[in-house]
Amino acid sequence: MRHNWKSVRDEVAARILRSDYAPGDRLPRDEELAAELGCARSTVVRAMQDLADSGIVERRRKGGTRVPANPVTRATFDIPVTRSEIEARGQSYGYHLLEQTPAPSPLHVTTAFGLSAPQDMLHLRALHLADQKPYIFEDRWIALNTVPEIRDVDLTTLSANEWLVKNRPYSRCTVRFYATNAGSDYGPIFATDPTTPLFVVERTTWVNDAPITSVKAIAHPGYQMLTEVG
Amino acid sequence: MRHNWKSVRDEVAARILRSDYAPGDRLPRDEELAAELGCARSTVVRAMQDLADSGIVERRRKGGTRVPANPVTRATFDIPVTRSEIEARGQSYGYHLLEQTPAPSPLHVTTAFGLSAPQDMLHLRALHLADQKPYIFEDRWIALNTVPEIRDVDLTTLSANEWLVKNRPYSRCTVRFYATNAGSDYGPIFATDPTTPLFVVERTTWVNDAPITSVKAIAHPGYQMLTEVG
DNA sequence: CCCCTTATTAAGTACGTACATAATATTTTT
DNA sequence: AAAAATATTATGTACGTACTTAATAAGGGG
């Protein structure tokens, strides 16, 4: 069964694994590989594009295909809506809106959006619960200029997360991972010591350069983000 | 210029953005879209597969293409060899091997690999410097059964990271992100308080189910992992 | 010898056809 | 009415051809 792109991909990947093609090396041209493996060039192209998407090979017009001299591990994470994440774990989902205040954006939000001046925003603080226990605390700012309808949405039962994702899709998004201390802000929420390290995912979204929302999602102590490659 | 797959992709993405196609909705069949946009079905297929790869649509045989009812943010991170990462920042790279000891794998490493019993491994502790300052500290275990050659490699000048990546490509890898405290282990290394929160990337790699290496990369205080989507 | 122009190369794309495959829907059988 | 066999459907894949494009290499002129 040599005549499908996945087996071509696996064959090329195996050669790289065996160091037949080593980092920095140039691979045979698509046409040659096609002739060697007895398939059409388009099949090799499909296989190679998959390998290129995974960062296993690099392709350049005229330059050919090569194994990167400095290989990288390309990891892909799916960040779901928090409710889906909790339900996928087989736990019950709970949601508490702690605060909902219109306010001008503070400096760190203004700069996250790349704005030159503060804008009117809606500030939300909410807690997501898994089996009644604090799972993720979110601190969110929503740009009222871009999303005025949010004023009329009841956010005490439906999380802003969910409303936005279904009503205000974004065209651009930055994601930032880092570690922080629970401190006096999050310590009480998770009923933990102020020195407890917490994992933070910060996401900022735009639609055609107009700011939508910026969220800090602070995960409960011990939270890990996991993915498989290959 | 409607006759290329990127413009087809962008048109469909724009329709989703405008909520012409809302979460849960089924899109027209490839053939219909092709007729509407005046291109071949294969062009629509190419566009749709790209959208599916980004998680923007879901495709199922017979079921058709639809906008996911529970959208996710799909973020992709490239984790380079540490030296490349530092040099890409325009900083000078430095490397110090702090410890190199053969030892049976401790429990957390044994379980990370999914092994039933401890194996002989090489334990390394090393520090990567950017502009002479501690950047990433790594705590690494290498499976000697799978990579016996590592015994004869001089790891005082070349990091194990680089040697492995060029000589022992992996076929499978898990990546884990989390937060930890500097504590007495890492506090002295980064010259920081034991309560300082630190960002950790833990990677475990195999080649055809044989364990290669498991690394904890502890980043300096303030380290952030950043990516753009869209 | 260096710079600029021109040729060549190998990947990138578009198209159309034919067929495969996995779901789903329908019909038949028990 | 439930279960099993069968038909239908929309995506998935393979192929071959023709053409485009970006990058490199070769050539020519100052």
The sign one gets for the Cα dihedral A123, A170, A198, A126 is: positive
Q: B133-144, pLDDT tens digit by residue? A: 999 999 999 999
Q: C-alpha A153: how far from its chain's center?
A: 26
- Only one residue has tokens 């069964």, namely A1
Q: Does pLDDT of A3 surpass 90? A: no
Q: Does pLDDT of A25 surpass 70? A: yes
Residue of B202, B46, B54 lying closest to B139 (CA atoms): B202
* Minimum-distance residue to C16 (CA–C1'): B40
Residue of B95, B150, B166 lying closest to A70 (CA atoms): B166
User: Which residue type is seen at A215?
Assistant: V
* Interface contact flag, B176 A23, Cβ < 8 Å: no
Non-local CB neighbours of A91 within 8 Å, separated by 6+ positions: A130, A131
* B 43-62 residues inside an 8 A Cβ radius of A: 53, 55
Distance in Å, alpha carbon of A90 to nearest chain B alpha carbon: 16
Task: Quote the mean pLDDT of chain A.
Answer: 95
Q: What is the pLDDT of residue B3?
A: 76
Q: Crossing angle for the helix pair B41-53 and B30-37, nearest 10 degrees?
A: 120
By the 8 A CB rule, do A139 and A218 touch? yes
* Interface contact flag, B207 A17, Cβ < 8 Å: yes
Q: B167-183, pLDDT tens digit by residue? A: 999 999 999 999 999 99
Count the residues in chain A: 230
Query: Given CB atoms, is B114 within the 8 Å cutoff of chain A?
Result: no
Q: How many Å from the CA of A75 to C1' of C1?
A: 48
Other residues' Cβ atoms within 10 Å of the Cβ of residue B24: 11
* Interface contact flag, B172 A229, Cβ < 8 Å: yes
Query: Given CB atoms, is B102 within the 8 Å cutoff of chain A?
Result: no
Torsion angles phi and psi, residue A55, rounded to 5: 80, 10
Tell me which nucleotides of strand D come within 7 A of a protein CB.
8-17, 21-24
Q: What is the pLDDT of residue B230?
A: 78
Choose the closest CB to B171 out of A17, A197, A224.
A17
Q: Which domains does chain B have, with CATH numbers?
A: 5-66 (1.10.10.10), 82-219 (3.40.1410.10)
Q: Does pLDDT of B228 surpass 70? A: yes
* Interface contact flag, A72 B79, Cβ < 8 Å: yes
Q: What is the pLDDT of residue A2?
A: 55
B36-61 b/e (C-beta count within 10 Å ≥ 16 → b): ebebeeebbbbbbbbbeeebbbeeee
By the 8 A CB rule, do A176 and A186 touch? no
Distance CA B42, CA B94 (A): 50
Portion of chain A with pLDDT greater than 70, in percent: 99
Query: Given CB atoms, is B2 within the 8 Å cutoff of chain A?
Result: no
Q: Does pLDDT of B54 surpass 80? A: yes
Q: A119-173, pLDDT tens digit by residue? A: 999 999 999 999 999 999 999 999 999 999 999 999 999 999 999 988 999 999 9
For residues B135-163, give the mean pLDDT: 96
Q: Does pLDDT of A84 surpass 80? A: yes
* Minimum-distance residue to D24 (CA–C1'): A62
Distance CA A221, CA B108 (A): 19
Query: Given CB atoms, is A73 within the 8 Å cutoff of chain B?
Result: yes
Q: C-alpha B193: how far from its chain's center?
A: 29
* Interface contact flag, A75 B175, Cβ < 8 Å: yes
Three-class DSSP labels, A33-82 = HHHHHCCCHHHHHHHHHHHHHCCCCEEECCCEEECCCCCEEEEEEEEECH
Distance CA B159, CA B34 (A): 52
Q: B163-222, pLDDT tens digit by residue? A: 998 899 999 999 999 999 999 999 999 999 999 999 999 999 999 999 999 999 999 999
* Minimum-distance residue to C25 (CA–C1'): B62
* A 134-173 residues inside an 8 A Cβ radius of B: 165-167, 169-173
Q: B77-118, pLDDT tens digit by residue? A: 999 999 999 999 999 999 999 999 999 999 999 999 999 999
Q: C-alpha A97: how far from its chain's center?
A: 24
Choose the closest CB to B71 out of A74, A165, A172.
A165
Element (H, E) at B13: helix B5-17
By the 8 A CB rule, do B181 and B194 touch? yes
Query: Does residue B29 lie within 7 Å of nucleic acid chain D, judged by its CB?
Result: yes
Q: A89-116, pLDDT tens digit by residue? A: 999 999 999 999 999 999 999 999 999 9
Query: Does residue A52 lie within 7 Å of nucleic acid chain C, judged by its CB?
Result: yes
What is the value of ipTM here, to two decimals?
A: 0.91
Q: What is the pLDDT of residue A1?
A: 54
| pLDDT level of residue B2 (50, 70, 90 thresholds) | low
Return the SS3 of A115: coil
Portion of chain A with pLDDT greater than 90, in percent: 95
Query: Does residue B59 lie within 7 Å of nucleic acid chain D, judged by its CB?
Result: yes
Token pair recorded at residue A218: 């602070």
Residue A94's DSSP bridge partners are A129
Q: What is the pLDDT of residue A115?
A: 97
Task: Give percent helix, percent strand, percent coil of chain B, each to the nearest 5.
Answer: 30, 35, 35
Choose the closest CB to B72 out of A79, A169, A170.
A79
- Only one residue has tokens 């933990």, namely A192
